[in-house]
Structure 1
Amino acid sequence: MQGSSQKILQLLKTHAVLRPADLDDLGIPRITLNRLYQRGQVEKVARGLYRLPGAQISEHHSLAEAAKMVPKGVICLLSALRFHDLTTQAPHEIWMAIDRKTRLPVNKALPIRFVRFSGPALIEGIESHIVDGIPVAIYQPGKTVADCFKYRNKIGLDVALEALKDCLRNRRCEADTLWQFAKICRVSNVMRPYLEALNA
């Protein structure tokens, strides 16, 4: 049991958060994690999520927690904009895309706002980023901008326009890439005048 405890503590030095399910593949009994928690050697940050007390975490740590909680979700919209430095806003919720047929997770420990995508709009433009040792699926800048135009009624057209301008100005993606994602998200007619004006 002592060896199992050490393995968990070592794992938490490279992976900021851990779920009990993560221990199954390693052959470590889940009760070991609970004992470490009872002894104060790990702390619970949300239901089913543990980390080392006082662990150094990045500004995007909540995205790592969300990725652990919803492994098939993709960080999108305002949260993806913030990650890519394409907005001045700091969303108080984590925006996450899930498949239309996926059941909503019951865990309410994190403030996650789910949006349902399907087909190419769900699977295209996904990048994997390591945040505090955790792989996090996040839509790339061009896809995120197109998504913002699609959901402009939820997040505001001004936010989508700011993201579009910053994306082109800072060369986060080419106009052709934006156009490609505009078609995938079915917002090419909405984005066309803005893209043309910015490229004039």
Structure 2
Amino acid sequence: MSARRLDRLGPTFTAARAREGGIGSNALARLRESGLIWELSRGVYRKSDAPLTMHVDLLAACTRVPHGVLCLETALTVHDLTDELPGEVNLAVPRGGPLPRITYPPVRVHRFAGATFEEGLEIREVAPGEHVRIYSPARSVVDCMRLRHRVGDEVALRALRFSLRRRGTTSGELLRFARVLDVEGPVKQAIQVMLA
């Protein structure tokens, strides 16, 4: 019975969503013990026959915090704007709200201003039929420039260089986000140096 109800859930789901679908905590435990599902994070499960993805940690974090947005080094990695793999998922939440606590996967939560929180927000498929909220390549680069003290000058400048070399991201788009996020001066100066 639980296996049939499981078919109605998406590949990644929460315990709350399972309860809504008629699968209680005891049934979830049996499904996990039988190998039909595995636990990604506290209260977040994935079907064992779900399509493979290298972004399981991102799905776990975004399922736990559905209003969060992937940002900084995590977004750079998804957008292929860095060679480095972050050791934790970087997730932005609006200032003023509760700060989520996630022990696994490792997540670093950043509070971003509510007035600009939705700027550059995109929805990206990271597994067949599964999507996450993530900042655009240009927004991610500008955020790294803005928060160089957290991510490091080298990471921020390398991401800026990568973005200027690839198609799809223009210096005009970078400067637009820099104006919105109040870091136009440093971003403009870095762009001028790189394009000189």
Query: In the alignment, which residue of structure 1 is the partner of 2:43?
Result: 48
Pairing 1:151–2:171 present: no
Distance 1:92 1:154, change over 3 A: same
Distance 1:190 1:198 in 2: 12
Question: 2:5, 2:23 within 8 Å by CA — same for their partners in 1?
Answer: no
Q: Tell me the residue number matched to 2:74.
A: 79
Distance 1:24 1:124, change over 3 A: farther
Comparing 40-49 with 134-143, which one deviates more in the overlay? 40-49
> Structure 1 residue 109: deviation in Å?
2.2
- 1:79, 1:166 → 2: CA distance? 15
2:16 is aligned with 1:28: no
Indicate if the aligned counterparts of 1:5 and 1:33 stay in contact, CA closer than 8 A: no
Identity fraction in percent:
34
Residues 58-99 of structure 1: per-residue CA shift (max 9 Å, x gap): 222211111101111000000000000000110000001011
Equivalences, count:
194
CA contact (8 A) 1:67 1:135 kept: no
**Which residue identity lines up with residue 22 of structure 2 in the other structure?**
I
Higher RCO (Cα < 8 Å, 6 or more apart): 1
Q: List per-residue Cα deviations over 1:6-59 (Å, max 9, x = no partner).
A: 1314635xx2x211122355x424344333224332222221111233754322
Report if aligned partners of 1:120, 1:184 keep a CA contact under 8 Å in 2: no
Do the aligned partners of 2:100 and 2:109 also contact (CA within 8 Å) in 1? no
Q: Which amino acid aligns with 1:152?
A: R
Amino acid at match of 2:62: A
Partner of 1:117: 112
CA–CA separation in structure 1 for the residues paired with 2:158 and 2:171: 15
2:170 matched to 1:171?
no
Which stretch shows the higher mean deviation, 75-84 or 170-179?
170-179
AA matched with 1:168: L
